[in-house]
């Protein structure tokens, strides 16, 4: 990836981080931690990779993205707003009674949301259905899904992992947002899903491990996934929960807690500084 | 006339409609021989997907298909469809109002020997409280064919309750045209109304004859559509007869009888007696023996009819 493109993506990612803080702070609730950890993954997918058009959100040939970890809705809304599916003005209505931006994404209310999610463990199955339909129709669209590393404690994930491999869904790429934390603490202490790479390998998946905040590694992994035939790919992305906001990083407490006014201001100031330093580079 | 189970009619209907509706895909959870989706699988192998013994995955995969314009029929036993995969049906199918059809076979106690773990007496209750879910419960082969047709023509989630037991023909194919939300008047009468659904329609028909032999005039209705329910017809029966018996192969709590009562109590209250399983789990036995054990019989409908007629004002 050339430096200019990378810098541009980093700026978008920082804007999205600001939006996550603004949304959760406006709502007084929501999930900033796991939204911040997935920023680079969604930024790459929506601003580089996926064939999607905000003017034609139901194009049958579009690529699909399923946010299986539906609590990261502020991340998805921020990306959809940045991309032009929804208005940026809507974002401050997040989780409030008159807004379409539900606590967890509702496909019937928000253009660009491909599936209503929230009850964990169901998104991979849905993505499988989309990928199977694509194969049946001879379409070349690809399906992406973002899983949480706590989420994969749900048994249905492994049912779906079996199905994807059984039906050789090479048009499906899953990302695992491997930030190591869930509500009650470290995933390895609550209920360890490790070793996740070996588990997915054993289930018949092609496994790639990357730094989930490095656009170059994300780009290479996505490109590699497209070359793999006869099996689905999972990109295990090592990430930091709360990434980008110093006092939120690696703190399980920020899984489902919104910043108050002062905290939000502090976070936004930090992010603004990051943005300014990117501007200097650019 | 050979008896045909509604699950058999379901498999046949899918194979038949599969010719016309190329968007139909059928998913099963390792029970295609029992749900009879095997009939579709043989004809359209490329549009059949066995998801294995994984009902949660089955339902959410069907949801994914629906987002891409397919008409998925997700098929398994009722106890797994409405029970084990309830959260997937609620959140991945009902909440986004996706066009998934759930073919739930082996409902009720008449599955027989497998016993309580496999008998499903709560599915009507569970499915009808999901907003936007259509709940169908056909009584015979022709009615099943019509329910599959309604499911295909309706845009949105549909639950079709099917039985394992072979049942006699009530309607001839081509002579029944179902409308969503409408019941079928089998005969009109003035002394008591009998509203039945699914397998119990057969017992209700016998009960009506028995009552008529005693000089009782019976308003007899088959209700293959539990949701949306035929409010107008229920009220007509109530006004004509002043008392109603409901009959279902389901827990009397939250099921078909409850649905009928909800309509009556809000519009035109008349006494109601319910024939169903009295808040119990099922037990193993030959289907006919189990049905008798739980008093899912014409005789019991007659008893309840006599009781409810005494309650009339």
**Domain B184-310 classified CATH 3.30.565.10?**
no
Q: What's the mean per-residue pLDDT of chain A?
A: 97
**Residue A174 C-alpha, separation from nearest chain B C-alpha, in angstroms:** 15
Give the catalytic positions of B in this structure: 55
Indicate the CATH number of B4-167 among 3.40.50.970, 1.10.510.10, 3.20.20.70, 3.90.180.10: 3.40.50.970
| Interchain pair A126, B56: CB under 8 A | no
| Tokens, residue B241 | 């007869």
Q: What is the tens place of the pLDDT at every residue in B66-108?
A: 999 999 999 999 999 999 999 999 999 999 999 999 999 999 9
Angle between helices A155-166 and A123-136 (to 10 degrees): 20
Q: Classify domain A3-280 at the CATH class level.
A: alpha beta
Q: Is A182 helix (H, G, I), strand (E, B) or coil?
A: strand
CA distance A162 to A95: 35
ipTM: 0.96
When pLDDT is averaged across residues B9-14 and rounded to a whole number, the result is: 98
Return the pLDDT at A171: 98
The H or E element spanning position A222 is helix A215-227
**Residue A197 C-alpha, separation from nearest chain B C-alpha, in angstroms:** 21
Contacts of A64 in chain B (CB under 8 A): 67
Interface of B with A in 166-205 (CB under 8 A): none
Confidence class for position B2, pLDDT limits 50, 70, 90: confident
Return the pLDDT at A281: 85
Q: Residues 6 or more apart from B308 whose CB is under 8 A from it?
A: B192, B243, B244, B245, B271, B272, B273
When pLDDT is averaged across residues B256-282 and rounded to a whole number, the result is: 98
| Interchain pair B96, A115: CB under 8 A | yes
| Interchain pair A137, B68: CB under 8 A | yes
Confidence class for position B155, pLDDT limits 50, 70, 90: very high
Return the pLDDT at B187: 98
Chain B residue with minimum CA distance to A116: B96
| Interchain pair A122, B25: CB under 8 A | no
Q: Is A63 helix (H, G, I), strand (E, B) or coil?
A: coil
Q: What is the tens place of the pLDDT at every residue in A109-125?
A: 999 999 999 999 999 99
Q: Cα–chain-centroid distance for residue B280?
A: 19
Q: Domain ranges for chain B, please list them.
A: 4-167, 184-310
Helix and strand element counts for chain B (H, E): 13, 12
Return the pLDDT at A243: 98
Q: Residues 6 or more apart from A30 whose CB is under 8 A from it?
A: A23, A24, A71, A73, A74, A94, A95, A103, A256, A258
Whether residue B279 contacts residue B125, with contact meaning beta carbons closer than 8 Å, is answered with no
Angle between helices B141-153 and B6-20 (to 10 degrees): 40
Q: How many CB pairs under 8 A join A and B?
A: 110
Return the pLDDT at B313: 80
Q: Domain ranges for chain A, please list them.
A: 3-280
Q: What is the tens place of the pLDDT at every residue in B176-196?
A: 999 999 999 999 999 999 999
- Chain length of chain B: 313
Return the pLDDT at B289: 97
Measured CA to CA in angstroms, residue B109 lies from B14, B79, B118, B277 at distances of 25, 11, 8, 9
| Tokens, residue B44 | 């359209």
Whether residue B83 contacts residue B120, with contact meaning beta carbons closer than 8 Å, is answered with yes
CA atoms within 13 A on the CB side of B295: 15
| Interchain pair B62, A114: CB under 8 A | no
Whether residue B110 contacts residue B163, with contact meaning beta carbons closer than 8 Å, is answered with yes
| Tokens, residue B188 | 């009109």
Q: What is the tens place of the pLDDT at every residue in A244-268?
A: 999 999 999 999 999 999 999 999 9
Confidence class for position B5, pLDDT limits 50, 70, 90: very high
pLDDT higher than 80, residue B34 = yes
Task: Tell me, yes or no, if the pTM score tops 0.90.
Answer: yes
């Amino acid at each position: 990836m050339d430096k200019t493109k990378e810098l541009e993506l980093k700026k978008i990612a920082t804007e999205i981080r600001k939006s996550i803080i603004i949304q959760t702070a406006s709502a007084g609730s929501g999930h900033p931690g796991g939204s911040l950890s997935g920023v680079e993954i969604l930024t790459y997918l929506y601003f580089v990779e996926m064939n999607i058009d905000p003017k034609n959100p139901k194009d049958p040939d579009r690529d699909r993205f399923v946010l299986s970890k539906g609590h990261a809705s502020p991340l998805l809304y921020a990306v959809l707003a940045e991309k032009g599916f929804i208005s940026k003005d809507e974002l401050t209505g997040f989780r409030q009674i008159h807004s379409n931006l539900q606590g967890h994404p509702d496909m019937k209310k928000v253009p660009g949301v491909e599936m209503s999610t929230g009850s964990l463990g169901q998104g991979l199955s849905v993505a499988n259905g989309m990928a199977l339909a694509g194969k049946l129709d001879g379409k070349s669209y690809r399906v992406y899904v973002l899983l949480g590393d706590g989420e994969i404690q749900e048994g249905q994930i492994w049912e779906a992992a079996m199905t994807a491999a059984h039906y050789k869904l090479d048009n499906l790429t899953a990302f695992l947002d491997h930030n190591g934390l869930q509500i009650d603490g470290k995933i390895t202490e609550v209920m360890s899903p490790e070793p996740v790479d070996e588990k997915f390998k054993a289930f018949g998946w092609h496994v790639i491990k990357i730094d989930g905040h490095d656009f170059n590694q994300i780009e290479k992994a996505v490109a590699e996934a497209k070359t793999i035939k006869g099996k689905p790919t999972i990109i295990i992305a090592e990430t930091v929960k709360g990434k980008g906001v110093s006092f939120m990083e690696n703190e399980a407490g920020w899984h489902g807690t919104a910043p108050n006014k002062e905290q939000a201001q502090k976070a936004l100031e930090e992010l603004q500084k990051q943005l300014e330093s990117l501007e200097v580079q650019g | 006339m050979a008896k045909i189970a509604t699950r058999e009619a379901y498999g046949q209907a899918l194979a038949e409609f599969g010719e016309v509706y190329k968007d139909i895909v059928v998913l099963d959870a390792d029970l295609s021989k029992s749900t009879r989706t095997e009939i579709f699988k043989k004809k359209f192998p490329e549009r059949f997907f066995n998801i294995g013994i994984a009902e949660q995955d089955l339902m959410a995969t069907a949801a994914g298909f629906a987002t891409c314009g397919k008409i998925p029929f997700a098929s398994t036993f009722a106890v797994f469809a409405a029970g084990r995969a309830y959260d997937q049906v609620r959140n991945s199918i009902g909440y986004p109002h996706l066009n998934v059809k759930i073919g739930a076979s082996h409902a009720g106690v008449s599955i027989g020997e497998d016993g309580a773990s496999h008998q499903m007496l709560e599915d009507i209750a569970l499915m009808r409280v999901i907003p936007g879910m259509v709940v169908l419960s056909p009584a015979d082969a022709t009615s099943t064919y019509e329910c599959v047709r309604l499911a295909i023509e309706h845009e949105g989630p549909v639950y079709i309750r099917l039985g394992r037991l072979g049942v006699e023909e009530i309607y001839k194919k081509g002579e029944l045209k179902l409308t969503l939300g409408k019941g079928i008047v089998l005969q009109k009468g003035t002394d008591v109304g009998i509203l039945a659904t699914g397998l119990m329609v057969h017992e209700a028909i016998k009960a009506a004859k028995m009552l008529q032999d005693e000089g009782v005039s019976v308003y007899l209705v088959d209700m293959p559509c539990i949701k949306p329910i035929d409010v107008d017809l229920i009220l007509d029966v109530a006004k004509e007869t002043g008392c109603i018996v409901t009959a279902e192969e389901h827990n009397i709590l939250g099921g078909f009888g409850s649905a009928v009562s909800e309509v009556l109590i809000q519009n035109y209250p008349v006494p109601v007696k319910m024939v169903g399983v009295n808040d119990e789990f099922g037990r193993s036995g030959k289907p006919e023996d189990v049905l008798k054990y739980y008093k899912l019989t014409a005789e019991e409908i007659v008893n309840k009819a006599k009781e409810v007629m005494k309650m009339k004002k």
